[in-house]
Amino acid sequence: MLITDAKIEFSDQPAIIQHVSIPEKCPHCGKNMSPRIYSGFSEDSYDYWDKNHNHHNGTKQKFCIVLQCVLCNSFYLGNFKADQFDSYGKILNYGYIEVSYIPPISNDIPENVSEISERFSGIYNQSLKAKEYGLTEIYGMGLRKSLEFLVKDFAIYLSKLNSDDSAKIDSIKAQSLGQVISSNFREFSNFSKLFQSASWIGNDETHYVRKHPEKDAEFLNSLIKVLANNVSNTVIEQEAMKLVDDN
Ligand SMILES: [Zn+2]
């Protein structure tokens, strides 16, 4: 970290000189250096007492400083947020905020799917992020992993509906994806075939030789979306049936 002073200009108050710690790694070329430091800017008021001795708390204050790498000459922003205060609420320190310029990834997966498989949603989102970065090989492998969590967690969900048999749940967790598919979805014959085809394409994404070269990761993604919608519908149907059965 490079500790330095920077001038911060505010929209509604006089500029201040602020002590800040700036990472020395350039986010563009990845090399360490001491960047050129230009002005900082903020819309947020800072912590101060006005002439009537009223305290104005700047606890949510953020500012950014324009920086330039001295090696590749690219510009970037150092972002800071007030993160340490004394007992009177006065700001003691500003923490550096790591910023990613990749926009958030949105997906078409219904929200209630994450209620039965939080890991599926997380891994699926990471797969979409890999694709956004151009990591197409990792994308397919991530989809295959997300599929395994969706299948197993859905099998566990169905198992819990019938009985809370912990031995059965442990066996689902330990089984291979193929075993879980062949032994758990008899009452959902369409699911079985969709799960089966998704697992075949998923395996192609992780193995040296493709058994189904005409299908790719995009097809796997389409299958996963259909499956997630089916899982979502089943969860809603089960809730509706339980409501009727309990009354
Ligand atoms: Zn650089």
| 11-26 per-position pLDDT tens digit | 777 888 888 999 899 9
pLDDT score of 133: 87
- The residue-averaged pLDDT of 83-107 equals 80
The residue ranking higher by pLDDT, 210 or 157, is: 157
Q: Which residue has the tokens 């990591």?
A: 135
Kindly give the distance from the C-alpha atom of residue 1 to the centroid of ligand 1, in angstroms, as a whole number.
16
> Quick one: CA torsion of 159, 161, 166, 171, rounded to 10 degrees?
10
Tell me the two tokens of residue 70: 């001295």
Of the candidates 148, 152, 142, 144, the one whose C-alpha atom is nearest the C-alpha of residue 116 is 152
Count of C-beta atoms within a 10 Å radius of residue 204: 21
pLDDT of residue 56: 64
In whole angstroms, how far apart are CA 141 and each of 1, 76, 129? 36, 33, 13
Q: Label residue 188 by pLDDT band (50, 70, 90).
A: confident
Centre of ligand 1 from the C-alpha of residue 16, in Å: 28
Write the burial class of residue 202 (CB in 10 Å: 0-12 exposed, 13-18 middle, 19+ buried). buried
CA 22 to ligand 1 centroid distance, Å: 14
Q: From ligand 1's centre to the CA of 30, what distance in Å?
A: 6
Q: Which DSSP string do the residues of 141-179 spell out, in sequence order?
A: HHHHHHHHHHHHHHHHHHHHHH---HHHHHHHHHS-HHH
Tell how far the Cα of 37 is from the centroid of ligand 1, in angstroms. 14
pLDDT at position 66 is 95
- DSSP assignment, residue 33? -
- Ranges of beta strands (E only) in 86-236 are 91-97
Q: Which residue has the tokens 């700047």?
A: 58
What is the predicted pLDDT for the residue at 58?
Answer: 65
- Strand 55-56 to 48-49 pairing: antiparallel
Residue 210 has pLDDT above 70, yes or no: yes
Q: Ligand 1 centroid vs 70 CA: distance in angstroms? A: 7
